Structure 1
Amino acid sequence: MKAADRQRAILDLVLTREANVEQLSATLSVSEATIRRDLTVLAKEGRLVRTYGGATVLVGVHEPEASLDERKTTQREQKEAIAQAAALHVADGETVLLDGGTTCAALARHLVTRQDLHVVTNNLLAVSTLVNASGVRLTMIGGDVRASSMSTLGPLAELALSRLTVDCAFLGADGVVAGFGLCEASAQQAWLKECIVARAAEVIVLADTDKLGRARQQHWTPIQRDWRLITSWMADEAMLLPFRALGEVTVEVARRDLA
């Protein structure tokens, strides 16, 4: 396992519990010396702090949010494969919700030929894709427009959601961490996702490998129910292990040939 991937796995494990060097070494199947070196690197980067006995505690660190243009060009192959895998969970005649973000926008492109499908969304990128689809009824959730994600949020969006239920909600996030939930740049984003989770019969989170274990924002949406994570073939077992360990999470890996 590459050092960067191992360090990401360490952060993910530490988020769910205080862990000592011996525990991390056993879980990741590497030497205690390797774990100590990784902890030293992560501590110098300000991503965690060392505690007595080698245990570690995560430090919440805010990082600048990526622009919409950056999101559109990052991990495009992974997002396409994840979107295609997600589309297999949508049947004609259902009502589904597409969250903001470029991965959910990619999913919208795979729904244009569906029949008798009702799509509810706050994603303006998805709206532009689906608005002329003859078999799709489209409901736009209103609210304040967030230019950095081309999505809506705020009290009006929350009010609209309180009047709806959906068969399945597809959620994106700045990060997804086992045991914590979805990480977001603002409290409004996090709360809107929590409203979505409450109104959906099924919840599916779409996350490329950059999002797994990522906890660099300070607002969280807990998911305290059964849910599915769809990620890509690039996720190694160390990234997936914390999610597989949770009984309420079903992990699905999109194949590269879907991209």
Structure 2
Amino acid sequence: MISCEFVQYQEKTCSLMLTTQRKKTILEWLARDGQVLAGALAVSFGVSEDTIRRDLRELAAEGLLQRVHGGALPASSAVAAFSERRTLESSGKRAIGIAASSMIASGQIVIIDGGTTSAELVKHIPHSLSATVVTHSPTVAVALVDHPSIEVIMIGGRLYKHSIVNVGAAAIEAMSHIHADIYFMGVTGVHPTAGLSTGDLEEAYVKRALAARSAETVVLASMEKLNSASAYAIGDLTLAQTIVVEGLNDPVLTAALETAKVSIVRA
């Protein structure tokens, strides 16, 4: 005779297998479509929306997706500490940095964000260039010390160590006195519907404030940031006029961005 305990064990094991398979399928559909909706998933799997929401919560806790109202988006993988990201060589980020640096004209006032892609931009600014660089990144400021014709204006505030940038009310107040020609923005997520996002609330405020003080905003977006989202919205895609991406990117990743009437530059 089969015991009740054995039957319960079998049912529990089966349930775990179904949950695991369902989560795997959710991630596959998310990678394919760029977003998933809880209601549609519930219908597809024949389970309640509460069950799907639990799946999404657990996947989000593992950093595998970003929950939004009604469903989920791919999570940005650009969340490691700055020191870790800096040690990772990326020909794509280097190409983006070179392309972005060529957009700076002599005599301009330029805002440069923090982050590893911005660090690549700074590496390729010609030493002969005469310009003013405004930055809330100590890393960027120090990297420009040996550029004799570049005046560096440093924005202070609380140091956000993940990206090594200054944030907070003091930083935003200082920005209100600036009128820049171009702002090179770093992000952790660029998504057709979720827009531009980052992993810290105060950093999102600062980025939005910097964009408001510049005639043109250029987003630097390496491959892992495309079609993904982070917890804090900076703004819609239209906050930027240009997005610089890696030249080898799959055109599918940028097609939706182009329909938003944002100029795409392939580095």
The interval holding the TM-score normalised by the smaller chain is: 0.7 to 0.9
CA shift, 1:243, in A, is: 0.2
Q: Indicate the residue corresponding to 2:260 in structure 1.
A: 246
Percent identity, aligned pairs only, is: 25
Q: Indicate the residue corresponding to 2:147 in structure 1.
A: 133
Instruction: Find the partner of 1:178 among 178, 192, 196.
Output: 192
CA shift, 1:253, in A, is: 0.8
- Cα distance in structure 1, aligned partners of 2:257 and 2:180: 25
CA shift, 1:57, in A, is: 3.1
Alignment deviations for residues 23-75 of structure 1 (CA, whole Å, 9 cap, x no partner): xxxxxxxxxxxxxxxxxxx97956489xxxxxx83269798931112211335
TM-score by length of 2: 0.73
Gaps in structure 1 of 5+ consecutive residues: 22-41, 50-55, 255-259
Gaps in structure 2 of 5+ consecutive residues: 1-26, 42-54
Matching of residue 10 in structure 1 with residue 33 in structure 2: yes
SS in 2 for 1:234: coil
Name the structure where helix makes up a greater proportion of residues. 2
Give the partner amino acid of 1:222: G
Q: Indicate the residue corresponding to 2:98 in structure 1.
A: 84
More divergent stretch after superposition (200-209 vs 71-80): 71-80
Matching of residue 119 in structure 1 with residue 142 in structure 2: no
TM-score by length of 1: 0.75
When residues 9 and 221 of structure 1 are mapped into structure 2, their CA distance, relative to the original with a 3 A threshold, is: farther
Q: Indicate the residue corresponding to 2:118 in structure 1.
A: 104
Work out whether residues 75 and 228 of structure 2, in 8 Å CA contact, stay in contact via their aligned partners in 1.
no
Matching of residue 220 in structure 1 with residue 243 in structure 2: no
More contact order relative to length (CA 8 Å, sep ≥ 6): 1
More divergent stretch after superposition (157-166 vs 175-184): 175-184
SS in 2 for 1:233: coil
Q: Indicate the residue corresponding to 1:233 in structure 2.
A: 247
- Cα distance in structure 2, aligned partners of 1:19 and 1:48: 16
CA shift, 1:98, in A, is: 0.3
SS in 1 for 2:224: coil
Instruction: Find the partner of 2:171 among 157, 164, 167.
Output: 157
Q: Indicate the residue corresponding to 1:25 in structure 2.
A: none
Work out whether residues 76 and 225 of structure 2, in 8 Å CA contact, stay in contact via their aligned partners in 1.
no
Give the partner amino acid of 1:146: Y
When residues 236 and 140 of structure 1 are mapped into structure 2, their CA distance, relative to the original with a 3 A threshold, is: same
- Cα distance in structure 2, aligned partners of 1:127 and 1:225: 25
SS in 2 for 1:171: strand
- Cα distance in structure 2, aligned partners of 1:122 and 1:48: 27
- Cα distance in structure 1, aligned partners of 2:120 and 2:29: 29
- Cα distance in structure 2, aligned partners of 1:237 and 1:98: 27
- Cα distance in structure 1, aligned partners of 2:189 and 2:90: 17
SS in 1 for 2:256: helix
Give the partner amino acid of 1:144: R
